[in-house]
Amino acid sequence: MNKETFERLTVDLGDRSYDILVGENLVANAGKLVQPFLKQKRTFIITDENVAKHHLATLENALSSEGIASKSLTLPYGEQTKSFSQLEKVIDFLLENKIDRKATIIAFGGGVIGDLAGFAAAVVMRGVDFIQIPTTLLSQVDSSVGGKTGINTSRGKNLVGSFHQPRIVLADIGLLQTLPHRELLAGYAEVVKYGLINDPAFFAWLEENGERVINGDLRAQTQAVVTSCKAKADIVALDERESGARGLLNLGHTFGHALEAEAKYNGSLLHGEAISIGMLMAHDISVELGFCASEDAQTVRSHFHKIGLPLETSFVSSNALGGKRLEVSRLMDHMSRDKKVNDGRLTFVMTKGIGQAYLDNAVDMTTVAEFLERAVTK
């Protein structure tokens, strides 16, 4: 077994603080790395069929070599797994196997598995510990950090859930080698988001090194994940429950979630792809409203184009709707159900330029509808 090498970051949340380890061979050494955080040597692994095929045996062996028992449940791959019915399946599995309050759940997968397993951990026996071992770029840089857990309902994404922080996050960069290129690209959208929010130097680094990140260069990937996790850890430490700054992490998400809802979560539009289009829309509307220079929006678009990220809503029409145009009224309807609605007003993440995102709850919805009308006909 190769020795692990990693960088350690901390999410500073008082007595619920935890570390994020970013590096190589972390799954193969998981037993040793997670052992200090277990109340008993008994774990429940929740994973999906793709991850299980490539990596489950490695994790199970790593745990058993340290005398840690594990039982695993493998679920279908895809966003549709983040549902009430699959949550029930997870809870039944845990209860049938007589989970007790000292056991630990290991979420071993991408954002879907992390959110679902984390939510199961938050509610089973009124809450047990859990560990995140994210296996996609997207989950390594975003969803595994910060304690947001939950499922989707027929009325929208992430509308049922809980804040439940993990005990430790192991982001094993080696796992990205088996990730399909489309998934790696989708995860890159969440990486570049941190540059666009408040770190223009990171955006400039990505302009230089982004292609290395998506072409599998381990050093570039490690640096991208470390920088992203550090940015996220800082924001979560400031505002765990999203009463302010954490809202910035939703750059591109209000538009993106509406696009995802139209695409019906069936794999035709990945979350990161929706966020890519949504972030460009956030820049475009900021330009139209006079907050952001059009050169900045153009620079962002050129970078996304060079990397191969989707740019326009026409990607959704052709990939998910059989060429049918998106309907603005339906998008507006999805947006009105967003969790970011407060007293009937939607908070948008707008931008004054690259690395200058800010929260704005004074955007007029008629203006948004007119903007969307132009966006869907591009």
Window 34-53: residues binding ligand GLY (CB under 6 A): none
Position 137 contacts ligand GLY (CB under 6 A)? no
- Give Cβ neighbours of residue 217 (< 8 Å, ≥ 6 apart): none
Catalytic site residue from 232, 283, 303, 334? 232
Q: Compute the distance between CA of residue 222 and CA of residue 285 in angstroms, rounded to an integer.
A: 33
Across the strands, what pairs with 38? none
Q: Which is nearer to ligand GLY, 38 or 224 (CB)?
A: 224
Window 238-257: residues binding ligand GLY (CB under 6 A): 246, 249
Q: Which residue is nearest to ligand GLY (CB)?
A: 249
- Give Cβ neighbours of residue 21 (< 8 Å, ≥ 6 apart): 4, 6, 7, 8, 33, 168, 169, 170, 171
Catalytic site residue from 271, 283, 303, 334? 271
Q: Compute the distance between CA of residue 280 and CA of residue 378 in angstroms, rounded to an integer.
A: 13
The answer to whether 311 touches 371, Cβ cutoff 8 Å, is no
Amino acid in position 351: T
Which of 82, 148, 230, 340: binder of ligand GLY (CB under 6 A)? Answer: 148
Catalytic site residue from 55, 148, 164, 283? 148
Q: At what angle do helices 218-238 and 200-214 cross, to 10 degrees?
A: 140
Position 142 contacts ligand GLY (CB under 6 A)? yes
Q: DSSP states of 201-223 as a string? A: HHHHHHHHHHHHHHTT-HHHHHH
8 is known as an active-site residue: no
Q: Compute the distance between CA of residue 99 and CA of residue 204 in angstroms, rounded to an integer.
A: 48
Across the strands, what pairs with 150? 161
Q: Which is nearer to ligand GLY, 146 or 166 (CB)?
A: 146
Q: Compute the distance between CA of residue 313 and CA of residue 295 in angstroms, rounded to an integer.
A: 21
42 is known as an active-site residue: no
Q: Which is nearer to ligand GLY, 42 or 340 (CB)?
A: 340
Q: In whole angstroms, how close is the CB of 40 to ligand GLY at the nearest point?
A: 29
207 is known as an active-site residue: no
Q: In whole angstroms, how close is the CB of 145 to ligand GLY at the nearest point?
A: 7
Q: Which is nearer to ligand GLY, 280 or 349 (CB)?
A: 349
Q: In whole angstroms, how close is the CB of 232 to ligand GLY at the nearest point?
A: 7
Q: Which stretch binds ligand GLY (CB under 6 A): 23-31, 140-148, 257-265, 272-280?
A: 140-148
242 is known as an active-site residue: yes
Position 340 contacts ligand GLY (CB under 6 A)? no
Q: Compute the distance between CA of residue 30 and CA of residue 39 in angstroms, rounded to an integer.
A: 16
Position 146 contacts ligand GLY (CB under 6 A)? yes
Q: In whole angstroms, how close is the CB of 164 to ligand GLY at the nearest point?
A: 12
257 is known as an active-site residue: yes
**Alpha helices, H only, the chain:** 30-34, 49-51, 57-64, 84-96, 111-123, 137-138, 181-198, 200-214, 218-238, 253-263, 271-288, 294-307, 314-320, 328-336, 365-377
Q: In whole angstroms, how close is the CB of 60 to ligand GLY at the nearest point?
A: 29
Window 161-190: residues binding ligand GLY (CB under 6 A): none
Q: Which is nearer to ligand GLY, 4 or 142 (CB)?
A: 142
Q: Which stretch binds ligand GLY (CB under 6 A): 64-72, 142-150, 219-227, 292-300?
A: 142-150
Cα 170 to Cα 32, 150, 165, 222, 319: the distances in Å are 12, 20, 14, 13, 33
Q: Which is nearer to ligand GLY, 85 or 243 (CB)?
A: 243
Please count the other Cβ atoms lying within 10 Å of the Cβ belonging to residue 356. Answer: 16
Q: In whole angstroms, how close is the CB of 16 to ligand GLY at the nearest point?
A: 15
Catalytic site residues?
Answer: 126, 148, 190, 232, 242, 246, 250, 253, 257, 271
| Binding residues vs ligand GLY (CB under 6 A) | 142, 146, 148, 246, 249
